[in-house]
Amino acid sequence: MTGAARAARLGPWAQELRALLRRWYLQLVRERAHLVLTLCQPAFWLVFFGLGVGRLVDRATVGTDDYTAFILPGVIGSTVIGSAISGAVPLLWDKETGYLHKLLSMPIHRGSILLSRLLFQVAVTGVQVAFILLVAVVLGVRVATGFAGLLLVSLVAALLTVALTAAFLALAHHGPGHNTFFTVSGFAALPLLLASNAFVPLAAMPRWMAAVARLNPLTYANEASRQLVLGGWHPRLVGYLAGLSLFAAACVAAAYLAFRKQAGGAS
Amino acid sequence: MTGEAITTTGLGRAFGDRHAVRDLHLQVPTGQVMGLLGPNGAGKTTTIRMLTTLLAPTSGSARVAGLDVRRYPARARGHIGYVPQEKGVRHLLTGRESAEIEADLHHIPRRDRDRRVTEVLDLLGLLPDADRLVSEYSGGLQRRLDLACGLLHRPDVLILDEPTLGLDVPSRRQVWEHVRQLRDGGGTVLLATNYLDEADALCDRVTILDRGREVVTGTPAELKRKVGADVVVVRTRQPDRLGRALTGLPWVRQVKVVDADVSVFVGDAPSALAAIMAAARRHDVAVLRATYERPTLDDVFVHFTGHAAAGVP
C-alpha cells in the first residue's frame, strides 16, 4: 500500500476517533464537580489513610518506614478501578438512551467506540496518576528509580486501566442494564482492591488470602510499581510488564468480541 | 439514484420462538415517503434495526441503496440517515457540537463540515439555538436537531422511527412540515409511526404491519377506497348485540366491534344512519353516540387487522 492510499484509509478512521474523543471530553469537562472530585479523591487516600494508618503499621511487616510510599501503588490501583468503572458509564448511558444504536448505524468501525473509550480513560487516569504522584512527592515520598521510574509507574497504571476499563465496558455493553452494572461493579471494586497487596504485603497475609491475591491482576501491578518506588531497577519488572500487557490485550480482545457479537455482524 | 432505495425479500427476524417480523416484502421507491404503520410490537422497530444493520435478519434479505445489509453492512450504513425514537445523551453538548461530531462520524470531509453543519441547522430552523446546550432544548427542538443530524451526509434514504412521539401539537406540525419539505426536495424517507394521522399526512405509500406481518400496502387513498366510502361509528353499551343485528344486512358491507364502538362500513352514511338507529331500536340497543365519517387510516387499520391501532396522539 502506498503512503497516500494508507492515509486515505486512515483518514476517516482518525476522523471518527477524534470525534468520539471530543464527545467524551466535552461531556467530562462540562461536569465540573465530577471532574474536580475525580481528581482530588485519590489524594485523600494518600494523606488521610497513608499518614494516619501509617502510624499503626509495623515496619517489619511492610518492609519500609514510609507507609505512604508503600501504599502509593495501592492508591493508584484503587484510582484505576474507579476510573475503569466510571469509564464504562458513558457507554452504559448511550446504550440505555438508544444513542448507541444511532452510533452503530453510522459508517464507523465497530471497534472505534471501544478504542476511543479506552484511549480517553487512559488519558483521564494519566492525569489522576500525575496528580497522585505530585501529592506523594509533596508528602516526602522519594522514588527509588527516579523520574524514569515514575514514567513506568504511569505505564503500569495505563495497562491496568486498559484491562479493567475493557472489562467494565464489556459488562456495560453486554449486561442487562444499569442496575446490574452498578451492583456488579460496586461489588467487584472492593475485593479487587482488598484481595490484593495494595495495603498489606503478600508475605504478611494469611496463606489463603495470599493465594487469592496472587490471582488478582492488581497484585502484579502493585508489585511492579512498588519495586519501582521502594526497591529499584530489577529484571523482575520485565515479567510484570509483559504479564500486564498480555492481560490488557486479552481483556481488550474479549471486549471487542463481545461488542461485535452484540452489534449484530461484522463491520 | 433511481429505482428502489430499500427492498426487502422475505425479510424476517425471530427471537427464539417469537417472530418479531416475518416474510416482509417491502419496497421504498426513491423519492417517496413510505410509511411503516402499526401498533407497538408490530415489528416496525425490528424492521428498522435490520435495515440499519443493527440486527441481523434470521431469514430473507434486505438491500439499502442496492447493497445487501448482511454482506456490506458498513457500506449500507453510509447511505442511511437514521433518526431513532430515543433521544441520545448529549445534554452537555451544544446543538452545533452534536452536529459537528455526527458529521465527523459520517466522514464528511473536514473542509466541508462546518458549512454543511450550518446548512442543516439552518434548514431545520435551528441556527438561533445552535450554540445553546441541548439540555436546554425543548422536545421539539431536540427532535429537529435529530432530523438535522440525519441529513448531514445527504443520505439516500432517511429512516425516521416515530419522529413525533411525545411532542406537543405545534412541534409535531413543525416536524411534519420539515418531512414534507424533504419529500418535495426529492428525498426518500421511511417513516415508522403508530400515529395514523401522521402517515395520512406525510406518506405517499403505507405498509400496515401487524404482529410482524405485512397486512396491506398501498397509497392512503387506495387503502381508504378499499375500506368503503363511509363508516358510521355507533357507541353503545351493547356493542356485540348491535354488531350481530347489523351483520349480513344487504346495505352493510362490514361490521367491526372494538370496545364500545361498532364501526359499520356502508355506501352512504346519512341514509344508513337512520337504518342503523331503527335496527338498534328493534333490538333494544341503547345508542350513546353515533357519528359518521369519511374513511381514515384508522378505519383502514381496523378493517385490515380487526383491531384498533394502539397509538392515538
In a domain, A151, yes or no: yes
Q: Which of A15, A93, A99 sits opposite B107 (nearest CB)?
A: A15
Q: Given an 8 Å threshold on Cβ–Cβ distance, is A98 in contact with B52?
A: no
Q: Measured between beta carbons, which residues in chain B are less than 8 angstroms from residue A31?
A: 92
Searching chain B, which residue's CA lies closest to the CA of residue A29?
B92
Angle between helices A32-44 and A3-29 (to 10 degrees): 90
- How distant is the Cα of A28 from the closest Cα of chain B, in angstroms? 9
Q: Three-state SS for A149?
A: helix
Full-prediction pTM beyond 0.90?
A: no
In a domain, A102, yes or no: yes
* pLDDT tens profile A177-208: 899 999 999 999 988 999 999 988 999 999 99
What pLDDT sits at residue B313?
37
Residue A227 has pLDDT above 80, yes or no: yes
In a domain, A238, yes or no: yes
Q: Which of A98, A104, A106 sits opposite B106 (nearest CB)?
A: A106
With b meaning 16 or more CB within 10 Å and e meaning fewer, what string describes B248-258?
Answer: eeeebbebbbe
Residue B293 vs residues B59, B80, B218, B270: alpha-carbon distances, Å: 41, 39, 21, 10
In a domain, A130, yes or no: yes
Evaluated on CA atoms A81, A83, A87, A93, the torsion sign reads: positive
- How distant is the Cα of B112 from the closest Cα of chain A, in angstroms? 13
In a domain, A245, yes or no: yes
* Residue B41 CA from chain centroid, whole number: 13
Residues B42, B305: contact at Cβ < 8 Å? Answer: no
Mutate to test the interface with B, among A9, A21, A23, A178 (most CBs of B within 10 A): A23
Q: Which of A22, A31, A263 sits opposite B101 (nearest CB)?
A: A22
Mutate to test the interface with A, among B54, B113, B159 (most CBs of A within 10 A): B54
Q: Is B99 within 8 Å of chain A by CB?
A: no
Distance between CA atoms of residues A65 and B47, nearest Å = 66
Task: Give the count of domains, chain A.
Answer: 1
In a domain, A117, yes or no: yes
In a domain, A39, yes or no: yes
Q: Given an 8 Å threshold on Cβ–Cβ distance, is B107 in contact with A104?
A: no
What pLDDT sits at residue A7?
54
Q: β-strands B59-64, B67-68: how paired?
A: antiparallel
The A residues from 67 to 106 touching B (CB cutoff 8 Å) are 90, 93-94, 97-99, 101-106
What pLDDT sits at residue B188?
93
Distance between CA atoms of residues A190 and B159, nearest Å = 45
pLDDT < 50 regions, chain B:
1, 311-313
In a domain, A267, yes or no: no
What pLDDT sits at residue B109?
92
Q: What is the CA radius of gyration of chain A?
A: 20
What pLDDT sits at residue A229?
93
Average pLDDT over residues A128-147: 92
Q: Which residues contact B64 (CB under 8 A, 6 or more apart)?
A: B5, B6, B51, B76, B79, B80, B156, B157
Q: Which of B70, B88, B107 sits opposite A102 (nearest CB)?
A: B88
- How distant is the Cα of A157 from the closest Cα of chain B, in angstroms? 29
* pLDDT tens profile A70-124: 999 999 999 999 999 999 999 999 988 888 888 988 989 889 999 999 999 999 9
* pLDDT tens profile A241-253: 999 999 999 999 9
Q: What residues make up the domain containing A194?
A: 3-262
Mutate to test the interface with B, among A24, A92, A101 (most CBs of B within 10 A): A101
What pLDDT sits at residue B311?
44
* pLDDT tens profile A21-60: 999 999 999 988 888 888 888 888 888 888 888 888 888 8
Searching chain B, which residue's CA lies closest to the CA of residue A94?
B89
What pLDDT sits at residue B88?
61
| pLDDT band of A136, cuts 50, 70, 90 | very high
Residue A5 has pLDDT above 80, yes or no: no
Burial (CB < 10 A; 0-12, 13-18, 19+), residue B106, is buried
